[in-house]
Amino acid sequence: MNRRGFLKSIAGFSIALAGAQLAIPVTAKCKMIAPLTDLVGKTFLDQRIKDNIAKFKQDNPHLKIGETHCHSIFSDGTYSVDKIMGRAARLGLDFMIITEHVQPHLYPLEHALASIKERGRCCDEWNHPGLDPIDVYPAFELSTLQGHLILVMDKDYLKPKFLGELKTRFSHLDQKMISMEDSAKMVQPLGGVSIIPHPERERAYPFGVPISFARQYLTGLVDAIEDISTGHGYEENYSQELGMASIGSSDDHFNLIIGTTVTGYDSRKHKNLLSAIKARETLAVKINESLDDILGMARLVL
Protein backbone atom coordinates (compact mmCIF):
# COMPACT_ATOMS: atom_id res chain seq x y z
CA MET A 1 0.00 0.00 0.00
CA ASN A 2 1.45 3.39 -0.95
CA ARG A 3 1.14 6.51 1.14
CA ARG A 4 -1.67 8.05 -0.95
CA GLY A 5 -3.70 4.86 -0.83
CA PHE A 6 -3.40 4.60 2.90
CA LEU A 7 -4.32 8.25 3.42
CA LYS A 8 -7.51 7.78 1.43
CA SER A 9 -8.42 4.57 3.26
CA ILE A 10 -7.87 5.89 6.77
CA ALA A 11 -9.54 9.21 5.96
CA GLY A 12 -12.74 7.50 4.84
CA PHE A 13 -12.66 5.13 7.79
CA SER A 14 -12.07 7.99 10.25
CA ILE A 15 -14.92 10.07 8.88
CA ALA A 16 -17.31 7.14 9.13
CA LEU A 17 -16.36 6.36 12.71
CA ALA A 18 -16.33 10.00 13.73
CA GLY A 19 -19.97 10.20 12.72
CA ALA A 20 -20.70 7.43 15.22
CA GLN A 21 -18.46 8.89 17.90
CA LEU A 22 -21.07 8.87 20.67
CA ALA A 23 -22.42 5.44 19.87
CA ILE A 24 -19.27 3.31 19.72
CA PRO A 25 -17.06 2.74 22.80
CA VAL A 26 -13.32 3.29 22.45
CA THR A 27 -12.58 -0.42 22.88
CA ALA A 28 -14.93 -1.30 20.02
CA LYS A 29 -13.40 1.37 17.78
CA CYS A 30 -9.94 -0.04 18.47
CA LYS A 31 -11.07 -3.51 17.43
CA MET A 32 -12.67 -2.15 14.26
CA ILE A 33 -9.56 -0.26 13.24
CA ALA A 34 -7.10 -3.04 14.13
CA PRO A 35 -7.29 -4.94 10.78
CA LEU A 36 -6.53 -1.77 8.85
CA THR A 37 -3.64 -0.78 11.08
CA ASP A 38 -2.20 -4.30 10.85
CA LEU A 39 -2.26 -4.09 7.05
CA VAL A 40 -0.68 -0.64 7.07
CA GLY A 41 2.10 -1.76 9.40
CA LYS A 42 3.05 -4.71 7.23
CA THR A 43 2.78 -3.02 3.84
CA PHE A 44 3.54 0.65 4.44
CA LEU A 45 5.12 1.64 7.75
CA ASP A 46 7.26 -1.12 9.28
CA GLN A 47 10.08 -1.03 6.75
CA ARG A 48 10.24 2.76 6.89
CA ILE A 49 10.54 2.73 10.68
CA LYS A 50 13.07 -0.10 10.59
CA ASP A 51 15.25 1.67 8.02
CA ASN A 52 15.14 4.97 9.93
CA ILE A 53 16.03 3.26 13.20
CA ALA A 54 18.94 1.43 11.54
CA LYS A 55 20.24 4.71 10.09
CA PHE A 56 19.86 6.51 13.42
CA LYS A 57 21.71 3.76 15.29
CA GLN A 58 24.45 3.71 12.66
CA ASP A 59 24.96 7.44 13.18
CA ASN A 60 24.69 7.11 16.98
CA PRO A 61 26.22 3.71 17.85
CA HIS A 62 26.39 4.34 21.60
CA LEU A 63 22.73 5.24 21.99
CA LYS A 64 20.11 2.76 23.16
CA ILE A 65 16.64 3.70 21.95
CA GLY A 66 13.17 2.46 22.76
CA GLU A 67 9.45 2.98 23.21
CA THR A 68 8.29 4.33 26.56
CA HIS A 69 4.48 4.49 26.27
CA CYS A 70 2.15 1.97 24.63
CA HIS A 71 -0.73 -0.36 25.51
CA SER A 72 -1.70 -4.01 25.03
CA ILE A 73 -4.90 -6.03 25.34
CA PHE A 74 -4.47 -5.94 29.12
CA SER A 75 -5.90 -2.39 29.07
CA ASP A 76 -7.14 -0.56 25.97
CA GLY A 77 -4.73 -1.80 23.32
CA THR A 78 -5.53 -4.27 20.54
CA TYR A 79 -2.45 -6.53 20.47
CA SER A 80 -0.86 -9.04 22.81
CA VAL A 81 2.27 -8.34 24.81
CA ASP A 82 4.15 -10.98 22.83
CA LYS A 83 3.25 -9.45 19.45
CA ILE A 84 4.17 -5.96 20.62
CA MET A 85 7.53 -7.12 21.95
CA GLY A 86 8.24 -9.10 18.80
CA ARG A 87 7.48 -6.18 16.50
CA ALA A 88 9.58 -3.81 18.60
CA ALA A 89 12.51 -6.21 18.28
CA ARG A 90 12.03 -6.51 14.51
CA LEU A 91 12.04 -2.73 14.17
CA GLY A 92 15.40 -2.59 15.93
CA LEU A 93 14.43 -1.06 19.27
CA ASP A 94 16.59 -1.86 22.28
CA PHE A 95 13.96 -1.53 25.00
CA MET A 96 10.28 -0.84 25.53
CA ILE A 97 7.83 0.07 28.25
CA ILE A 98 4.24 -1.14 28.03
CA THR A 99 2.05 1.12 30.17
CA GLU A 100 -1.30 -0.45 30.94
CA HIS A 101 -3.86 1.88 32.48
CA VAL A 102 -4.77 1.68 36.15
CA GLN A 103 -7.97 3.57 36.96
CA PRO A 104 -10.59 2.88 39.65
CA HIS A 105 -13.64 0.94 38.40
CA LEU A 106 -12.37 0.91 34.80
CA TYR A 107 -8.84 -0.54 34.50
CA PRO A 108 -8.06 -2.77 37.50
CA LEU A 109 -4.56 -3.13 38.91
CA GLU A 110 -4.89 -6.90 38.50
CA HIS A 111 -4.86 -6.53 34.71
CA ALA A 112 -1.76 -4.32 34.78
CA LEU A 113 0.03 -6.84 36.99
CA ALA A 114 -0.98 -9.65 34.64
CA SER A 115 0.59 -7.65 31.80
CA ILE A 116 3.81 -7.28 33.80
CA LYS A 117 3.84 -11.03 34.48
CA GLU A 118 3.34 -11.70 30.77
CA ARG A 119 6.29 -9.44 29.88
CA GLY A 120 8.49 -11.49 32.15
CA ARG A 121 7.23 -14.73 30.63
CA CYS A 122 7.86 -13.47 27.09
CA CYS A 123 11.43 -12.58 28.03
CA ASP A 124 12.04 -15.98 29.63
CA GLU A 125 10.37 -17.89 26.77
CA TRP A 126 11.42 -15.71 23.84
CA ASN A 127 9.84 -17.19 20.71
CA HIS A 128 10.97 -14.87 17.93
CA PRO A 129 13.75 -16.75 16.11
CA GLY A 130 16.51 -14.62 14.69
CA LEU A 131 15.76 -11.69 16.97
CA ASP A 132 17.51 -10.81 20.21
CA PRO A 133 15.15 -10.39 23.17
CA ILE A 134 14.19 -6.79 23.80
CA ASP A 135 14.60 -5.22 27.25
CA VAL A 136 11.28 -4.51 28.94
CA TYR A 137 10.37 -2.75 32.16
CA PRO A 138 7.48 -3.25 34.57
CA ALA A 139 5.28 -0.16 34.42
CA PHE A 140 1.75 1.17 34.30
CA GLU A 141 -0.06 4.43 33.62
CA LEU A 142 -2.01 5.72 36.61
CA SER A 143 -5.00 7.99 36.48
CA THR A 144 -4.39 10.58 39.23
CA LEU A 145 -6.44 13.55 40.36
CA GLN A 146 -4.43 15.89 38.12
CA GLY A 147 -3.88 13.62 35.11
CA HIS A 148 -2.06 10.51 33.99
CA LEU A 149 1.34 9.50 35.38
CA ILE A 150 3.54 6.63 34.19
CA LEU A 151 5.37 4.68 36.89
CA VAL A 152 8.32 2.53 35.81
CA MET A 153 9.95 0.04 38.17
CA ASP A 154 13.31 -1.70 38.19
CA LYS A 155 13.43 -4.77 35.93
CA ASP A 156 13.64 -7.03 38.99
CA TYR A 157 9.91 -6.45 39.40
CA LEU A 158 9.24 -8.49 36.29
CA LYS A 159 9.90 -11.57 38.42
CA PRO A 160 6.75 -13.33 39.64
CA LYS A 161 7.97 -13.32 43.25
CA PHE A 162 7.64 -9.52 43.35
CA LEU A 163 4.10 -9.29 42.00
CA GLY A 164 2.66 -9.67 45.49
CA GLU A 165 4.68 -6.69 46.67
CA LEU A 166 3.39 -4.57 43.78
CA LYS A 167 -0.17 -5.65 44.51
CA THR A 168 0.16 -4.72 48.19
CA ARG A 169 1.78 -1.37 47.45
CA PHE A 170 -0.68 -0.25 44.75
CA SER A 171 -3.94 -2.07 45.58
CA HIS A 172 -5.63 1.04 47.02
CA LEU A 173 -5.47 2.61 43.54
CA ASP A 174 -8.38 0.35 42.55
CA GLN A 175 -10.60 2.24 45.01
CA LYS A 176 -9.82 5.91 44.43
CA MET A 177 -7.54 8.29 42.59
CA ILE A 178 -4.80 9.99 44.55
CA SER A 179 -2.75 13.09 43.80
CA MET A 180 0.02 13.05 41.25
CA GLU A 181 2.51 14.05 43.95
CA ASP A 182 1.63 11.04 46.11
CA SER A 183 1.68 8.76 43.07
CA ALA A 184 5.21 9.84 42.13
CA LYS A 185 6.45 9.16 45.66
CA MET A 186 5.14 5.60 45.56
CA VAL A 187 7.59 4.42 42.91
CA GLN A 188 10.75 5.78 44.51
CA PRO A 189 11.24 2.95 47.07
CA LEU A 190 11.07 0.50 44.15
CA GLY A 191 14.06 2.08 42.43
CA GLY A 192 11.74 3.39 39.76
CA VAL A 193 10.92 6.62 37.99
CA SER A 194 7.83 8.66 37.15
CA ILE A 195 7.00 10.15 33.74
CA ILE A 196 4.36 12.74 32.84
CA PRO A 197 2.63 11.62 29.62
CA HIS A 198 0.88 13.94 27.15
CA PRO A 199 1.00 17.13 29.29
CA GLU A 200 -1.48 19.91 28.51
CA ARG A 201 -3.74 17.50 26.57
CA GLU A 202 -7.32 17.93 27.76
CA ARG A 203 -10.11 15.37 27.99
CA ALA A 204 -13.36 15.20 29.96
CA TYR A 205 -11.48 13.47 32.81
CA PRO A 206 -8.00 14.12 34.28
CA PHE A 207 -5.66 13.34 31.38
CA GLY A 208 -2.67 15.59 30.72
CA VAL A 209 -1.43 17.60 33.68
CA PRO A 210 -1.08 21.36 33.01
CA ILE A 211 2.49 22.59 32.79
CA SER A 212 1.66 25.31 35.32
CA PHE A 213 0.77 22.61 37.89
CA ALA A 214 3.89 20.60 37.03
CA ARG A 215 6.07 23.67 37.46
CA GLN A 216 4.62 24.50 40.85
CA TYR A 217 4.22 21.05 42.42
CA LEU A 218 6.15 18.40 40.48
CA THR A 219 9.62 19.80 39.80
CA GLY A 220 12.18 17.84 41.78
CA LEU A 221 9.61 15.09 42.37
CA VAL A 222 8.61 13.70 38.97
CA ASP A 223 11.59 12.44 36.97
CA ALA A 224 10.62 12.91 33.32
CA ILE A 225 8.09 14.33 30.88
CA GLU A 226 7.07 13.56 27.31
CA ASP A 227 8.53 16.23 25.04
CA ILE A 228 7.46 14.49 21.82
CA SER A 229 4.43 12.26 21.25
CA THR A 230 3.48 10.75 17.91
CA GLY A 231 0.05 9.75 19.13
CA HIS A 232 -0.81 13.20 20.46
CA GLY A 233 0.88 15.15 17.71
CA TYR A 234 3.17 17.58 19.50
CA GLU A 235 6.87 18.44 19.81
CA GLU A 236 7.79 20.63 22.76
CA ASN A 237 10.68 21.24 25.13
CA TYR A 238 8.92 20.87 28.47
CA SER A 239 11.82 18.97 30.02
CA GLN A 240 14.25 21.87 29.80
CA GLU A 241 11.72 24.25 31.32
CA LEU A 242 10.94 21.90 34.22
CA GLY A 243 14.36 20.32 34.79
CA MET A 244 13.11 16.81 34.00
CA ALA A 245 14.39 14.06 31.72
CA SER A 246 13.21 14.27 28.11
CA ILE A 247 10.96 11.49 26.83
CA GLY A 248 9.76 10.62 23.32
CA SER A 249 6.99 8.09 22.80
CA SER A 250 4.06 7.00 20.65
CA ASP A 251 1.19 6.18 23.07
CA ASP A 252 0.41 3.40 20.61
CA HIS A 253 -2.74 1.30 21.06
CA PHE A 254 -2.61 -0.55 17.71
CA ASN A 255 0.97 -1.87 17.49
CA LEU A 256 1.37 0.52 14.56
CA ILE A 257 3.26 3.68 15.52
CA ILE A 258 5.65 2.11 18.04
CA GLY A 259 9.13 3.30 17.11
CA THR A 260 8.02 6.48 15.33
CA THR A 261 9.16 8.54 18.33
CA VAL A 262 11.66 7.12 20.81
CA THR A 263 13.66 7.86 23.93
CA GLY A 264 17.43 7.46 23.79
CA TYR A 265 20.29 7.29 26.27
CA ASP A 266 24.07 6.85 26.10
CA SER A 267 24.92 3.25 26.99
CA ARG A 268 28.54 4.24 27.73
CA LYS A 269 27.37 6.30 30.70
CA HIS A 270 24.29 4.41 31.89
CA LYS A 271 23.61 0.74 32.46
CA ASN A 272 19.90 1.13 31.72
CA LEU A 273 17.13 3.60 30.96
CA LEU A 274 16.22 4.24 34.60
CA SER A 275 19.77 5.37 35.37
CA ALA A 276 19.68 7.81 32.46
CA ILE A 277 16.28 9.20 33.46
CA LYS A 278 17.39 9.77 37.06
CA ALA A 279 20.45 11.62 35.76
CA ARG A 280 18.26 13.72 33.40
CA GLU A 281 20.39 12.45 30.49
CA THR A 282 17.88 11.19 27.94
CA LEU A 283 16.69 12.60 24.65
CA ALA A 284 13.45 12.46 22.70
CA VAL A 285 13.88 11.61 19.02
CA LYS A 286 11.37 11.70 16.16
CA ILE A 287 12.20 8.69 13.97
CA ASN A 288 9.45 8.65 11.35
CA GLU A 289 6.85 11.18 10.20
CA SER A 290 5.02 9.08 7.59
CA LEU A 291 1.70 9.13 9.44
CA ASP A 292 1.73 12.65 10.82
CA ASP A 293 -0.71 13.93 8.19
CA ILE A 294 -3.41 11.41 9.05
CA LEU A 295 -3.03 11.03 12.82
CA GLY A 296 -5.17 14.13 13.25
CA MET A 297 -8.01 12.28 11.56
CA ALA A 298 -7.46 9.27 13.80
CA ARG A 299 -7.78 11.53 16.85
CA LEU A 300 -11.29 12.38 15.73
CA VAL A 301 -12.09 8.72 16.14
CA LEU A 302 -10.28 7.99 19.37
pLDDT at 22 over 50: no
pLDDT class of 289 with cuts at 50, 70, 90: confident
pLDDT at 10 over 70: no
Alpha-carbon 269 to chain mean position: 24
For residues 264 and 247, give the distance between their C-alpha atoms in angstroms, rounded to a whole number. 8
Q: Is 285 helix (H, G, I), strand (E, B) or coil?
A: strand
- For residue 75, give Cα distances in angstroms to 49, 101, 241: 25, 6, 32
> pLDDT digit string (tens) for 157-169?
999 999 999 999 9
For residues 233 and 151, give the distance between their C-alpha atoms in angstroms, rounded to a whole number. 22
- For residue 247, give Cα distances in angstroms to 17, 65, 66, 103: 31, 11, 10, 23
pLDDT of res. 204: 81
For residues 274 and 157, give the distance between their C-alpha atoms in angstroms, rounded to a whole number. 13
Q: Are strands 139-143 and 95-98 parallel, antiparallel or unpaired?
A: unpaired
For residues 270 and 275, give the distance between their C-alpha atoms in angstroms, rounded to a whole number. 6
Higher per-residue confidence, 15 vs 257: 257
Q: Is 146 helix (H, G, I), strand (E, B) or coil?
A: coil
- For residue 185, give Cα distances in angstroms to 8, 107, 182, 193: 46, 21, 5, 9
Instruction: Please list, in sequence order, all residues whose beta carbon lies within 8 angstroms of the beta carbon of residue 53, skipping any fewer than 6 positions away.
Output: 65, 91, 92, 93, 259, 262, 287
pLDDT at 297 over 60: no
Q: Are strands 234-235 and 224-229 parallel, antiparallel or unpaired?
A: antiparallel
For residues 70 and 77, give the distance between their C-alpha atoms in angstroms, rounded to a whole number. 8
Instruction: Tell me the domains of the chain and their CATH numbers.
Output: 61-290 (3.20.20.140)
Share of the chain above pLDDT 90, in %: 78
pTM: 0.88
pLDDT of res. 301: 47
> pLDDT digit string (tens) for 77-99?
999 999 999 999 999 999 999 99
Residue 115 one-letter amino acid: S
Q: Are strands 135-137 and 95-98 parallel, antiparallel or unpaired?
A: parallel
pLDDT of res. 39: 57
Pick from 81, 116, 63: nearest CA to 262: 63
pLDDT of res. 11: 47
pLDDT at 19 over 50: no
> pLDDT digit string (tens) for 240-272?
999 999 999 999 999 999 999 999 999 999 999
pLDDT of res. 31: 60
For residues 265 and 283, give the distance between their C-alpha atoms in angstroms, rounded to a whole number. 7
For residues 42 and 83, give the distance between their C-alpha atoms in angstroms, rounded to a whole number. 13
Residue 154 one-letter amino acid: D
Torsions phi, psi for 271 (to 5 deg) = -75, -20
Torsions phi, psi for 238 (to 5 deg) = -60, -35
